Amino acid sequence: MTQTPTGLDRRQFMQQSLDVGGMSGALTGLPVAAELLAAEKPALEIAPFRFDVSPPEGHPLCGGWIKPVVGYDDRLEAIGFVLRGAGAPVVICAVDWTGILNRGHLEWRTVLAQAAGTTPNRVAVQCVHQHNAPFVCPAAEAYLQSVDSSLTCMMPDFFAQCLDRGAKAITTALREPRPVTHVAHGQAKVERVASNRRFIGPDGKLSDWRGSASRKPEHKALPEGLIDPFLKTVAFYHGEQRLVACHYYATHPMSYYGDGRVCSEFVGLARKRRQQEDPSCTHIYFTGASGNIAAGKYNDGTPEARVQLTERMYAALVASDQALKPQPVVSASWTTAPIVPPCATQLVADELAEKVANKQNALANRIRPAMMLSFLRRCEAQTPIILSGLHVNDASLVHLPAESFLEYQLRAQQARQDRFVAVAAYGDGGPWYIPIREAYPQGGYEVSVANCDPAMDEILTGGIQRVLQV
């Protein structure tokens, strides 16, 4: 059986990571002075990696409630890097999947940690959130199979294959790490992509909702609403050679989906174009906190719109790259904050089980309750979500869970106006949507599928503040 850096086998390693009571072990969450001191003026090394995560034909897409894989517009990738020299190794990875939930997320972090010689709480795995892509929850899949073998949200064998590919990709990458001498950050405004989905009427309730695509003239006429207009980039260098560029932007990354054709979408296509013309640098794209943000104002759901959105994202990637001004690395650290999500009161085990078993329900209305039941069990076990941040010089890369509302990203930036804060969401997808407290009485789709109660607002905001205590 595979051994971890601590000498534990994989199952023991995961169990240690799940042990909330043992916060002094793998889940130590707050910055430790000794660790930060050890990371001053670090000698950093970086090892970028990538591997294919395209699902096979017939695999469920978006959790099994849209058409499964029938073909491929382009391949899906997991792209990341191992950073050594800021304490124990750090792994950051972006995956072209809709989401990775609950124990599945821990399995990803555990396997990547083993390969990098570190622990799961020093690994961030963030999904890009394309919809013609896998949306996986191993616990939900096991439950579905126990109820009805025709129900499925993922293929476990494919999931295991991706983990093996990830371990091999990191092992290979670590044979040739590159020194990191400089870091840079920049940003550029993205034109005509993001728009807010939610519009509140005079009565304080949701009056209109604009999704990822719309052909309604009134949705085009509505303002963008609250967005973060900037694509942010943080890049690592060896001398003048740029080695890795991490790009961040907050919007649901869908032009159209549901046709069974796997696609990395307009954000992935823009990233790939940038990668082709700059092959010596590994370009990684992260979706920011965009639970309430999509392209609906500027997207009519046609293939032509995908091309236009890709062009606009590509232009922003280039402009943000051009704003980079490398500075010598003088400090580097990693911080974490474990939070225990409060389960929504409407998640009741017997009721969820009844929905899964009811063959009269639509497929989505049987699979989703299984995922909710998995989250409920996770909350009962007090299994934490790990928030994390990589801080190099005055740049902070912050990693949040699930479909966090944009306001959490803006709060992170506001909390440290003295730093360049780039936010990646869609980490552990267990909570599904994470609205802000004010959104709950307003109603709407996001609130209806939020697995946490309103107390999650204060818990997540407090965790963000702790991660940024550097």
Domain membership flag for residue 283:
yes
Q: Could you read off the pLDDT of 344-374 as tens digits, one per residue?
A: 999 999 999 999 999 999 999 999 999 999 9
Cβ atoms within 10 A of the Cβ of 226, count? 15
Identify the band that residue 14 occupies on the pLDDT scale cut at 50, 70 and 90.
very low
Under DSSP, the state recorded for 298 is T
Residues 74-101, mean pLDDT to the nearest whole number: 98
> Does residue 15 or residue 25 have the better pLDDT?
15
Domain membership flag for residue 25:
no
Residue 19 has pLDDT above 60, yes or no: no
Residue 117 has pLDDT above 80, yes or no: yes
Q: Domain of 234? A: 10-14+30-467
**Selection from 326, 46, 317, 42 nearest residue 184 by Cα:** 326
Residues 410-416, mean pLDDT to the nearest whole number: 98
182: which residues sit within 8 A by CB, 6+ positions away? 236, 237, 238, 239, 326, 327, 328, 329
Domain membership flag for residue 224:
yes
**Would you state the pLDDT for residue 442?**
98
CA of 255: how far to CAs of 135, 212, 225, 267, 313, in Å?
A: 18, 7, 19, 10, 12
**Would you state the pLDDT for residue 393?**
98
Residues 123-130, mean pLDDT to the nearest whole number: 98
Residue 281 has pLDDT above 60, yes or no: yes
Residue 72 has pLDDT above 80, yes or no: yes
Residue 12 has pLDDT above 60, yes or no: no
Q: Could you read off the pLDDT of 421-447 as tens digits, one per residue?
A: 999 999 999 999 999 999 999 999 999
Q: How far apart are CA 119 and CA 24, in angstroms?
A: 13
Domain membership flag for residue 20:
no
Full DSSP string of 387-408: EEEEEETTEEEEE--TEE-HHH
Helix axes 103-116, 10-18, angle to 10 degrees: 120
Residue 28 has pLDDT above 60, yes or no: no
Domain membership flag for residue 24:
no
Residue 267 has pLDDT above 70, yes or no: yes
Q: How far apart are CA 394 and CA 418, in angstroms?
A: 8
CA of 413: how far to CAs of 34, 316, 322, 393, 406, in Å?
A: 26, 20, 22, 16, 11
Tokens of 380: 């009962």
With vertex at residue 227, the alpha carbon angle to CA 224 and CA 233, rounded to the nearest 5 degrees, is 130
Residue 409 and residue 399 in contact, taking contact as beta carbons nearer than 8 Å = no
Residue 109 and residue 18 in contact, taking contact as beta carbons nearer than 8 Å = no
**Would you state the pLDDT for residue 3?**
42
Total tally of structural domains belonging to the chain? 1
Residue 137 and residue 101 in contact, taking contact as beta carbons nearer than 8 Å = yes
Residues 446-470, mean pLDDT to the nearest whole number: 97
Identify the band that residue 42 occupies on the pLDDT scale cut at 50, 70 and 90.
confident
Helix axes 138-147, 156-173, angle to 10 degrees: 160
Q: How far apart are CA 109 and CA 163, in angstroms?
A: 10
Domain membership flag for residue 2:
no
Residues 66-89, mean pLDDT to the nearest whole number: 98
Cβ atoms within 10 A of the Cβ of 61, count? 27
Residue 10 has pLDDT above 80, yes or no: no
Secondary structure of 177-239 in HEC code, one letter for each residue: CEEECEEEEEEEECCCCCEECEEECCCCCEEEECCCCCCCHHHHHCCCCCCCCEEEEEEEEEC
Mean of the per-residue pLDDT values for the chain?
Answer: 92
Identify the band that residue 41 occupies on the pLDDT scale cut at 50, 70 and 90.
low
Q: Are strands 90-95 and 71-72 parallel, antiparallel or unpaired?
A: unpaired
Residue 114 has pLDDT above 90, yes or no: yes
